[in-house]
Amino acid sequence: MILLIMSVAIYGLIVSDNLIKKIMCLNIIESLVILTFLTTGYQERAVAPIITDIVTNYVDPIPQALMLTAIVIGVCFNSLAIAITVKVYYKYHTIKVSELHER
Amino acid sequence: MNVRYLIILFPLLPLIGISLSLLVKYLTRKDISTLMIISNAVLQLLTGAYLFLYFRNYEGLYVVVLSEWKHAIEFSFDQYRIFFLLAFLIPSFFTLFHYRKLTDFNIRTLFLFYMAGCSGLIVTGDIFNFYIFYEVMIMAAYVLISVNRQYYASIKYMIFGAASSAIFLAGIILLYASGSYFSYSFLMNLGEYNPTNIHFVFLLFSVAFFIKAAFFPVSGWVATCHSATNGLISAFLSSFTIFSGIFGLFYFVILPAKSLGFDNILLFIQILSLLTMVIPALILFFEPDFKRCIAGSTVFTIGFIGLLLSSGAWYLGLFYMAVHAFYKSYLFLLYDDLVIEKLKIYGNIKTIVLILIAVGFTVGFIPSIPYFIKYNFLIGLNYLKLINYVTLALMLGSFLKFSYKTGKIKVKSLSYIFFPVILAVFYLMIPFPFITSGYYLILDLMILFLAAFGARALFEKFDFLCCLDTRYIYINMNYELLYIVILIILQIMLLRLNY
């Protein structure tokens, strides 16, 4: 399922003419990558990795800790990308890649 | 002073600068960001100089672990990293003379963030922190590119940066799933552990770093993005940021692939490097914009460095990268002192002389250091010599199609006086024999003669090929993104051949 959605997002990233759609496709790709990592740490009937005397079976904390950082980076990217896209629109009056001439 | 603390302090210095300037701004409304940039540059130059002297003959990897947990944050340093350190310190040095190009408080604060990301990349000791420091650096760079209101260049840089980071993150996941740790010491000795599915990790890492380091065919963004901003930021982008891709390729692909004996990956990098030398040189020949020529020539250098590193000539490749930081920084900073009218370039006599010396270094013409690097590497490799002469002719032509005129144009910067000093230091540092033969000297002079008298005429005769890249190869961003998928497919085909 992840591979299928990833393929659709990559297709969208390549063929889409709209900058906002491209940013959305990149978002989907990044979210899927994060989801994949989280599943590697998943265990059946395991609890959150807060270690006490009672808890013995807990999920791997590494993917969770790392992906939390990746999510923050993703949010930063989104806000920056959308802000710059607004600037692109104000300057060039379009956000279509085919119309954005470089010089 | 203990080197352990200096390694940790190195990326902390710009972060302290940001905190202080924000604190003073909010408490007293005074702007001390310029002072912070200058003091940070001075302190980083001093710290960097100490690290350089300490590690220049150091054997092995120096590791600083922050706690006893097996996944604790690690910092590390080794002999190879002194070249990356040099590539960062050279534009940092020019910050002392060109800090006025950073026009307001927000830009200066972002610049300090950028410096923090760059310095963190150099000293990080694990792959996930490499990803984090890279993102800190590149997020600041996205905004710094748009200081001249070139927003399209900024968004283009963002999309390519995000695509490569997603692929890199996928590689990190697969690396973890294969039972590996993230530390450099583990990755550099991967041959001893041989984790499962590691060839797919190399696939993802190599594609991510091919994009970050702008290997052909995903090199179209370099000329657009690096030429969009002011001279100081362009100098940093083309001296260090783009080479962080080479840094990743070297530490996470070339060294582990070598230790595991994955020769096909190294062969693939060699082929791609050759293409990255020849095709961008051809594109550059038909480029009418001088600043885009300076930016685009970085791709040619990346191709040659990729070739050197994948062929095992690590010291030559890394030394080339450090020298490149010197002349590329000068080219971008001198550009701001030029007046350009189509193919005519006017400048002060000092500026024009320094530009021509830097152009000689860019194309690898005798007696520049890149010439001796090439000469030492190409001994006995006849098929590469032919490619070298073709690229030399194209690169010389791409800069000599412009006519350089001297005049009384005011020079603004003091950094000129350091040109011979830095040049002399690099010549003293050359780690290989300083040799050449008369035969090659005559060949080079003949190519120079041809380029000086034929390049302009050829450029004007084939004017339909003008802007070859944006007109025919990278028609729009969608084509450039498609080339990433083609690279992935080529790598998968290579893996299927391998197994």
Contact A33 B151 (CB under 8 A): no
B340 vs A contacts (CB less than 8 Å)? none
The more confident residue out of A95 and B379 is: A95
Q: How far apart are CA B78 and CA B183, in angstroms?
A: 14
Which residues numbered 151-210 in B keep a CB inside 8 Å of some CB on A? 151-155, 158-159, 162-163, 165-166, 169-170, 172-173, 176-177
The tokens describing B466, both together, are 């003008």
Q: Is the pLDDT of residue A85 over 90?
A: yes
Q: How far apart are CA B338 and CA B134, in angstroms?
A: 33
Q: Which residues pair with B309 in a beta bridge?
A: none
Q: Is the pLDDT of residue A103 over 60?
A: no
Contact B149 A30 (CB under 8 A): no
Contact B132 A22 (CB under 8 A): no
Structural domain containing residue B374: 3-498
The CATH label, of 2.130.10.30, 3.40.309.10, 1.10.1740.10, 1.10.287.3510, for the domain at A2-43+58-99 is: 1.10.287.3510
Q: Which of B124, B137, B151 to mutate to test the interface with A (most CBs of A within 10 A)?
A: B151
User: DSSP secondary structure string, B160-200?
Assistant: HHHHHHHHHHHHHHHHHHTT---BHHHHHTGGGT--TTHHH
Look at residue B249 in the predicted model and tell me its pLDDT: 93
- Average pLDDT value over all residues in chain A: 86
Look at residue B274 in the predicted model and tell me its pLDDT: 93
Look at residue B497 in the predicted model and tell me its pLDDT: 63
Residue B219: which of B312, B299, B125 has the closest Cα?
B299
**B24 burial via Cβ count (<10 Å: 0-12, 13-18, 19+):** middle
How close A55 gets to chain B, by Cα (Å)? 19
pLDDT of chain B, 499 residues: tens digit per residue: 688 999 999 999 999 999 999 999 999 999 999 999 999 999 999 999 999 999 988 888 898 888 887 778 889 999 999 999 999 999 999 999 989 889 889 999 999 999 999 999 999 988 889 999 999 999 999 999 998 888 999 999 999 999 999 999 989 888 888 877 777 777 777 777 767 778 888 889 999 999 999 998 898 889 889 999 988 999 999 999 999 999 999 999 998 888 888 888 888 999 999 999 999 999 999 999 999 999 999 999 999 999 999 998 899 899 999 999 999 999 999 888 888 888 889 988 888 999 999 999 998 888 889 888 888 887 767 778 888 889 999 999 999 999 898 887 777 777 788 888 988 988 888 877 777 777 888 888 899 898 888 889 998 888 888 887 777 888 888 888 899 999 988 888 877 766 5
How close A60 gets to chain B, by Cα (Å)? 11
ipTM of the complex: 0.92
3-state SS assignment for residue B277: helix
The tokens describing B359, both together, are 């152009």
- Give me the amino acid identity at B117: G
Look at residue B381 in the predicted model and tell me its pLDDT: 74
Look at residue B234 in the predicted model and tell me its pLDDT: 94
Q: Which residues contact B123 (CB under 8 A, 6 or more apart)?
A: B7, B8, B10, B11, B75, B76, B77, B81
Percent helix, percent strand, percent coil in chain B, to nearest 5:
75, 5, 20
As separate numbers, helices (DSSP H) first and strands (DSSP E) second, chain B gives 22, 5
How close B151 gets to chain A, by Cα (Å)? 5
Peptide bond preceding B367 in cis form (omega within 30 of 0): yes
Torsion-angle region of B342 (φ positive above 0: left; ψ -120 to 50: alpha; else: beta): left
Q: Which residues contact B67 (CB under 8 A, 6 or more apart)?
A: B73
How close B134 gets to chain A, by Cα (Å)? 11
Residue B218: which of B156, B263, B262, B171 has the closest Cα?
B156
Q: Is the pLDDT of residue A102 over 60?
A: no
Q: How far apart are CA A22 and CA A97, in angstroms?
A: 10
**B70 burial via Cβ count (<10 Å: 0-12, 13-18, 19+):** exposed
Q: How far apart are CA B211 and CA B213, in angstroms?
A: 6
How close A37 gets to chain B, by Cα (Å)? 6
Find the CB nearest B152 among A26, A34, A88: A88
**A20 burial via Cβ count (<10 Å: 0-12, 13-18, 19+):** middle
Find the CB nearest B151 among A15, A88, A97: A88
A98 vs B contacts (CB less than 8 Å)? 476, 478
Q: Which of A2, A5, A14, A89 to mutate to test the interface with B (most CBs of B within 10 A)?
A: A14
B139 vs A contacts (CB less than 8 Å)? 73, 76-77, 80
Contact B145, B233 (CB under 8 A): yes
Element spanning B273, H or E: helix B263-285
Residue carrying structure tokens 């692929």: B167
User: In residues, how long is chain A?
Assistant: 103
Contact B298, B234 (CB under 8 A): no
3-state SS assignment for residue B74: strand
B288 vs A contacts (CB less than 8 Å)? none
Q: Which residues pair with A96 in a beta bridge?
A: A18
Q: How far apart are CA B204 and CA B207, in angstroms?
A: 5
A22 vs B contacts (CB less than 8 Å)? 159, 477
Q: CA-nearest residue of chain A to B134? A: A73
Distances (CA, A) of B106 to A35, B32, B136, B144: 35, 12, 16, 10
Contact A88 B155 (CB under 8 A): yes
Q: CA-nearest residue of chain A to B173? A: A37
> Could you give phi then psi for residue B344, rounded to 5 degrees?
-105, 130
Look at residue B499 in the predicted model and tell me its pLDDT: 52
Contact B166 A30 (CB under 8 A): yes
Residue spans per domain, chain A:
2-43+58-99
Q: How far apart are CA B28 and CA A68, in angstroms?
A: 35
Find the CB nearest A102 among B173, B176, B470: B470
Look at residue B140 in the predicted model and tell me its pLDDT: 94
Which residues numbered 44-103 in A keep a CB inside 8 Å of some CB on B? 62-63, 66, 69-70, 73, 76-77, 80-81, 84-85, 87-88, 91-92, 97-98, 100, 102-103
Q: How many domains does chain B have?
A: 1
Question: Number of CB pairs < 8 Å for A and B?
Answer: 97
Distances (CA, A) of B2 to B5, B74, B78, B174: 6, 17, 16, 36
Relative to beta strand B74-78, strand B339-341 is unpaired
List the alpha helices (DSSP H) in B286-348.
290-310, 314-335
